[in-house]
Structure 1
Amino acid sequence: MRLSCPHCGERDRREFTYKGACLTPPGGDWGAAWDAYLHLRENPAGETRDLWYHEPCGTWAAVTRDTVSHAVAGSVAARDAR
């Protein structure tokens, strides 16, 4: 699988470390509601947005990909993810 680093361009997946889902807490609540949202939510197959760390340049990327086909739809710098 190849991922696109917003800084370096397309690279092999082995240069990246998966860091989890790129989520925004409902209502901006980082307390108990956020914990429940993160750990008790459904995990359907299909398109996801994940955080990946590109080791060589130190860039965090929000990658949109399909968990079934492993197709990567794109990525943006994590700071720009909405």
Structure 2
Amino acid sequence: MESKKLSSFNLLSDIHTEMLQLPKSFRESVCQECGWSEATFYRKTKTKKAFSNAEKDKILAVGDSLLKRLLAHSNAYRPR
């Protein structure tokens, strides 16, 4: 977002909305990357079984990517 456009946004509401979207975005991205259904995702959140190294890498990469996106979004509000 450009700084000119940000003046029309409510900072609190905008960041809150972005953060509320994180769980859904995380679930959808992990399912896509790992080839899982939504049911498989939730089943695997409750299991104590270990994940494969490939699954671990994909899960961490998705989390890192989403956090970087949120940080970039919030940094758009900071003065330069």
Asked if TM exceeds 0.5, the reply is: no
Question: Structure 1 length as normaliser, TM-score?
Answer: 0.28
Question: Structure 2 length as normaliser, TM-score?
Answer: 0.28
Structure (1/2) with the larger helix percentage = 2
- Larger radius of gyration between Structure 1 and Structure 2: 2
Instruction: Indicate the structure whose relative CO is greater, using CA pairs within 8 Å and at least 6 residues apart.
Output: 2
Structure (1/2) with the larger strand percentage = 1
